[in-house]
Amino acid sequence: MLTLGIETSCDETSVALLEGEKKLLSHLILSQMEHERFGGVVPELASRAHQKVLLPLVEQAFGEAKCKPEEIDLIGVTLGPGLIGSLLVGICTAKTLALSLDKPLIGVNHVEAHLMANLLLEEPPQPPFVALLISGGHTLLIKVDCWGQYLILGRSRDDAVGESFDKAAKMLGLVYPGGPAIEKAAASGNPEAFAFPRPMIKDPSLDMSFSGLKTAVLYEVEDLKKAGGFYGVLADLAASFQAAAVEVLIEKSLRACARISARTLVVAGGVARNKDLRENLTLRSDRAGIKVIFPPFNLCTDNAAMIARTALFHFRNGRTDSLDVRAYATGSLDWPTASF
């Protein structure tokens, strides 16, 4: 089974060719750098960039995989959530290929694909487990009883954790994307220098909040500017912010595992690349007797390999989509929500 995956939900253009369940014959990710000077993604620029590079990237992927388009068995493409203009570039390309090659098409939910990226591991996690899905647009704690069936245990009530990293980085004068910039600046900082709040950490629910943490950084930066500037303590600010955000994620994740007696915690999404989170969550999980699983770095951010694998999963479970499938900008998944 040879699956072509296409991902264009935001500012990464990605194409993958997946043989079977795990063998990537080609996996290309092209990140758009033109958004750095704006401090965030400009939707129109993003969609134009996808238009420019997607077809050459598809051709390159087939060249690397040493196969022809007519040899593929399935096409998977991101339907959403994401930027509508960017999504349409990928969807139109996938529909055209599906029609011209007479191949089945599967539209993929980007959020579920982040989770299913873990199916590409040499030893994929076996349900039941708790999943912590952390990205620029979503922060979710999910009970996974079996692949394809999920129950939301908790979520951010405001900013996603990745979004809060971007906003904090902008306040500190760091480049976009904020996650890697904060992590780099924090490496030489003192995480205890500033007593930033850990919002909702004592709240008995499994929901989270990061808006208040972001606001605390804003007020601290404004005060420091009035006193002469904050660049002398930039590393400390970044480290203190990162420590606060990471602590909330760890506490809520371990609480979710304890609440449903889960012994495995699976992490997914772009923020899963954060080294501080990986080290501290692994340490705390080991102490609690919980196995924590992270995908490799190239499967954390937006990528077409996870799209191809998710499409294959649904195809093997009897699903195919028509050429009428449409893009959608917002939403998570139609998952039920737990009540505690």
* Other Cβ atoms closer than 10 A to 300: 22
What is the chain's pLDDT, residue by residue, as a tens digit (340 residues)? Answer: 999 999 999 989 999 999 999 999 999 999 887 787 777 789 899 999 999 999 999 999 999 999 999 999 999 999 999 999 999 999 999 999 999 999 999 999 999 999 999 999 999 999 999 999 998 889 999 999 999 999 999 999 999 999 999 999 999 999 988 999 999 999 999 999 999 999 999 999 999 999 999 999 999 999 999 998 888 999 999 999 999 999 999 999 999 999 999 999 999 999 999 999 999 999 999 999 999 999 999 999 999 999 999 999 999 999 999 999 999 988 766 555 555 5
Contact residues for 177 (Cβ-Cβ < 8 A; gap 6+) = 136, 165, 166, 169
- Listed residue (334, 332, 311) closest to 140, CA to CA: 332
Query: Among 270, 159, 258, 263, which residue's Cα sits nearest to residue 216?
Result: 159
Q: How far apart are CA 108 and CA 117, in angstroms?
A: 12
For residue range 272-306, what is the model confidence (pLDDT) as tens digits?
999 999 999 999 999 999 999 999 999 999 999 99
DSSP letters, 322-339, are -TT-----S------B--
Task: Pull the structure tokens for residue 205.
Answer: 């629910």
User: Quick one: pLDDT at residue 23?
Assistant: 97
130's CB contacts (< 8 A; 6+ apart) are 141, 142, 143, 144, 153, 253, 256, 257, 260, 262, 264, 265, 266
Distances (CA, A) of 190 to 16, 231, 255: 40, 14, 27
- CATH class of domain segment(s) 2-115+300-316: alpha beta
Give the model's pLDDT for residue 137.
Answer: 85
Tokens of 46: 């993003």
Maximum Cα interatomic distance, the chain, rounded to a whole number of Å? 66
How far apart are the two ends of the chain, measured CA to CA in Å? 42
Residue 21 burial (CB count, 10 A): 14
Instruction: Please report the pLDDT score of residue 333 as a whole number.
Output: 63
* Residue closest to 137 by CA, chosen among 161, 167, 169, 165: 161
Helix (H, G, I), strand (E, B), or coil: what is residue 3? strand
Q: Alpha-carbon distance 291 to 138, whole Å? A: 23
| Strand 2-7 with 129-134, pairing | unpaired
- Homologous superfamily, domain 126-294: ATPase, nucleotide binding domain (3.30.420.40)
Domain boundaries, the chain: 2-115+300-316, 126-294
The predicted pLDDT at position 332 comes to 67
Beta strands in 124-224 (DSSP E): 129-134, 139-146, 149-155
8 A C-beta contact, residue 82 and residue 46: no
The token duo for 129 is 């487990």
Which pLDDT score, from 0 to 100, does residue 330 have?
Answer: 80
pLDDT at res. 136: 83
Say whether 126-294 and 2-115+300-316 share the same fold: yes
**pTM higher than 0.85:** yes
Closest C-alpha among 137, 43, 53, 52 to residue 83: 43
Q: Show the tokens assigned to 196.
A: 């930033």
